[in-house]
Amino acid sequence: MADVNRGNRPLSPHIMIYRPQLTSISSIMVRITGIATLGAALLIVAWLLAAASSPAAFAVVDGLLRSVLGDLILFAALWAVYYHMLGRLRHVLWDFGYFVQVPVSEKMAIGMFGLATVLTIFTAAIV
């Protein structure tokens, strides 16, 4: 058998070896915003459960969600929903073979951030 020196090379790519790219960062952000969206959904479920259980419990949860902190949490959750939606749309386009070139993918990553921000501000302004 050939003498293969496997001890001097990494077994798999490591995050500290490679430079982060816009496409990888935006892909990671899609995953993070998916988890954040789940957290926001749990807050809404807690609000509904509190409304169904007692007026005192509802007052506590509703007071939290209507406070400045609650407004910030819901604003960030709305941004996460929009960003995650745009990320899923990007992946559907990639599945069909569109916009897979690296320069175009990098522009889409920047565009997702900007469009999610614009949509969030627009939605917050009309509500």
CATH assignment at residue 101: 1.20.1300.10
CA distance 34 to 38: 6
- The pair of structure tokens assigned to 35 is 């988890």
Tell me which residue range forms the domain holding 68: 22-126
Residue 80 in domain: yes
pLDDT score at 96? 95
Q: Does residue 28 form part of some domain?
A: yes
- Tell me whether residue 10 is in a domain: no
Which among 39, 36, 33, 123 has a CA at the least distance from the CA of 83? 33
Weakly modelled stretches of the chain, pLDDT under 50: none
Q: What's the confidence (pLDDT) of residue 5? A: 61
**CB-based contacts of 2: which residues, under 8 Å, 6+ apart?**
none
Please give the Cα distance from 119 to 117 (Å, whole number). 6
Does the residue 2 lie in any domain? no
Can you give the pTM of this predicted structure?
0.83
Residue 9 lies in a domain: no
Q: What is the residue type of 45?
A: V
Please report whether residue 1 resides in a domain: no
55: Cα separation from own chain's centroid: 33
14 inside domain: no
Confidence (pLDDT) at 113: 96
Contact assessment for residue 87 and residue 58, using Cβ atoms and an 8 Å cutoff: no
Domain total of the chain: 1
Is 11 part of a structural domain of the chain? no
